[in-house]
Structure 1
Amino acid sequence: MAHVREMEAADIEAVAAIRVRGWQAAYAGIVPQTYLDAMSVEGDAAQRRQWFSQPGQESRNLVALGDRGPVGWICCGPYRGEVPGPGPVGEVYALYVLPDLIGQGIGRILLDEAHAQMKDQGFEASALWVLRDNHRAQRFYERAGYQADGAAQDDVYDGITLTELRYQRML
């Protein structure tokens, strides 16, 4: 079973691979294939190295470690944008697991740890955004206690507009 720890600089390439492979698997048939094909581990790692070197980050990056090193990654922190609730709200910015390990509980372990850390930071609720057509992710988050709250936002990928739905749960 995987265990969770804070991401370190040495994890950047592994996390980039988890994120890129995660996108390419989870969003095939949803996000334009041209966009997914253009993603690279090297490009993602370069962006992640730049971000990682910036001081004063409010977000938390956690990795799940398995037999072969990092196998999952979650990033969370303060809600970005207008806070959707009366109390302090945290946000799960991203959660990815190596595609061949999905369904083994790694994502849930990461999510549970992110919830615990957000609660320790004083957040009363957690929010996240899921692509409207990503039904697998919606089921995963619903099983973890999240509910769609009616908010939606659009993002454009290679000229195609895709809608994301906001989900929330109390911590």
Structure 2
Amino acid sequence: MVHVREMDAADIEAVSTIRVRGWQAAYAGIVPETYLDAMTVEADAGQRRQRFSRPERKSRDLVALGDRGPVGWICFGPCQGDVSGPGLVGEVYALYVSPDLIGRGIGRILLGEAHAQMKGQGIGASTLWVLRDNQRARHFYERAGYQADGAAQEDVYDGITLTELRYQRVL
């Protein structure tokens, strides 16, 4: 069983480990191997410390805690794109669970708590971006009530262009 709380600075190393290992597991065969192999927990933690300490930061970070400490992380906040919805629109920027614990409901718990907090802030809809070829994540978000809304964007990883699809749901 896990419980969710606000992330604090002491969680940065664990969250970076979850994120880097999550990328390497979830995006194997999608994102170029050279890009995934170059990712390090240390570099991610350094960038996360900088972002986390900014007083103007509008994002919220939650961690799921298990018996070994943080086992999942979600980051969300105001929508960063041009999206219409019922009232204010929020965005899930990132959601990762320790790869060895995927499928145990931790992601669903984190997403549910993020949705509850967004609703508590008067946000009526949530968006997120997911790689088109990440079928497992797309299926997860669809089960959570998200639907692709037709928007797409491209990102380049080590010279390879990958397409992300935007998903949206009413909260």
Which category describes the TM-score, using the shorter chain as reference length?
A: over 0.9
Q: What RMSD over aligned residues (CA atoms) do the two structures have, in Å?
A: 0.7
List aligned pairs for 1:1-171, cutoff 5 A. Answer: 1-85=1-85, 87-171=87-171
With the length of structure 2 as denominator, give the TM-score of the two structures: 0.98
The alpha carbon displacement at 1:83 in A equals 2.4
Per-residue deviation at 1:86?
Answer: 5.1
Q: How many Å separate the matches in 1 of 2:123 and 2:96?
A: 22
Distance 1:37 1:136 in 2: 21
1:3-25: CA deviation from partner (whole Å, max 9, x where unpaired) = 00000000000000000000000
> What's the offset of the Cα at 1:138?
0.5
CA contact (8 A) 2:86 2:125 kept: no
Length-normalised TM-score, structure 1: 0.98
Runs of at least 5 residues in structure 1 that lack an aligned partner in the other structure: none
Residue 169 of structure 1 deviates from its aligned partner by 0.5
**Equivalenced residues, count:** 171
How big is each residue's C-alpha offset from its partner over 1:4-56, in whole Å with a ceiling of 9 and x where there is no partner? 00000000000000000000000000000000000000000000011111102
- Percent identity (aligned): 81
- Tell me how far apart the structure 2 counterparts of residues 159 and 121 of structure 1 sit (CA, whole Å): 39
> 1:139: Cα distance to partner?
0.5
1:124 partner SS: strand
Structure 2: 5+ residue stretches without partners: none
AA aligned opposite 2:51? W
Structure 1 residues 114-133: Cα deviation after superposition (integer angstroms, max 9, x where no partner)? 00001111110000000000
Paired AA for residue 144 in structure 2:
A
